[in-house]
Structures are given as C-alpha cells and as structure tokens.
Amino acid sequence: MGRPAGRPFLFGVQSLIEIRIASQSDAPAIKALMDLAISELQKGFLTLQQVESSRAGMGLDLQLIEDGTYFCVEEDGSLVGCGGWSRRATLYGGNHSAGRDPRLLDPATERARIRAMYTHPEHTRKGIGRLILDTAEAAARAEGFSAIEMAATMSGKPLYLACGYEIESEWFDENGAVPVPLATMWKQLD
C-alpha cells in the first residue's frame, strides 16, 4: 500500500503534521510544551538539578513570535513541537533570561540563529525537529543568511549533528543554581 502524497503515514494510520507561524495566542500552549519537554527530554543527559537550573536559560522569547520567525507544529490539530529562527543577536533564552540582545544581525557577516526547539515527549522521532529546522533554515536563507548557529542542549545534539550541524564549542550556562552544559553548533546554508 503506497503512502498518500503530501501526508505523513504513521503505523498504518494517516496523521497530518502541519507547520505554521506562531501567534501570540499560542504562547500559553507553547510555554506548557516547553515546560514538559524540559522536564522529560533532558533526563539521561542532565542531573535533576541541571534540569531545574536549565529553566533559567530556556523558555519562550516572545520577540520570536513578534518577528514571525517562530513556528508551531501540530499533529491532527494538537501542538507537538515548536521552534524557530532569529535575525537577532540573542543566541538562546526566554523573556526571563539574562543576556538577551535584540540587535538585528547582518546577513552578510553574521549567522542567523536557531531558537527554542522543543518537541512533545510523546512525539519524538517523528521528524518534527527536522521539519522545524528545514523550515527555519529556508526562511533564514531567503533573508540572505549563508550560515546559522544555535545553543544546543545535550539532548538536542544528536539531531543537530544528523542534520549537518557542527560543534563549534561546548560551554556551561551559569544563569541557574548549577551549571548546565550547552554547545554552540553551526551550519553553512548555501
């Protein structure tokens, strides 16, 4: 039996996965998904103290929604993933995070940013992260960026490596009670 064109096929059941630009009205659902993903998907990569501490540096940056560069992924109408990109200098963090920089990047000399990628724990390994990355990379490329970078979590690194990103440096976010390991990863877009 063939796969219907334009529709994902999952375990013998048709399931429609769609990506769209996030709106301000999505913020409560996005925050809830982020909280769940932080709690569940960092297990095995971070200690419980690091998971809690990571909340100081992770979360929703409403500027991404205002800029129209943040996406929601829905499966049959339910939010299963979110993430996006930015033309601004902030590398990571939510509205509450220290060190944010709203300066616009120069596409001729600077890398765009991948920002705030989260997948619902019950919907991992379905291609949701790749869909967000592909969409974000295409949008950044369309705005003239030739490279893109991110602050990757330890749980996200395997996906990003599989999608062609390279580790530039590994470091610790020290905004919380205990240091949380992160990696700056980047990719050439052209």
Structure tokens at 108: 């001729």
Q: Give yes or no for residue 7 having a pLDDT over 80.
A: no
What mean pLDDT comes out for the span 110-131?
A: 97
pTM over 0.85? The answer is yes
Which of 57-61, 133-137, 139-143 shows the lowest mean pLDDT across its residues? Answer: 57-61
Identify whether the C-beta of residue 83 lies closer than 8 Å to the C-beta of residue 26.
no
Domain spanning 14-93+101-188 has what CATH number?
3.40.630.30
The 10s digit of each residue's pLDDT in 10-51 is 555 668 999 999 999 999 999 999 999 999 999 999 999 999
Sequence-distant (6+) residues with CB within 8 A of 72 are 19, 20, 21, 22, 26, 29, 30, 79, 81, 82
Backbone dihedral angles phi then psi of residue 87, each to the nearest 5 degrees: -100, 10
Q: Give yes or no for residue 5 having a pLDDT over 60.
A: no
Q: Write down the domain spans for the chain.
A: 14-93+101-188
Per-residue confidence (pLDDT) for residue 45, from 0 to 100 = 97
Residue in 189, 31, 19, 28 with CA at minimum distance from that of residue 111: 189
Could you give the percent of the chain with pLDDT greater than 90?
A: 84
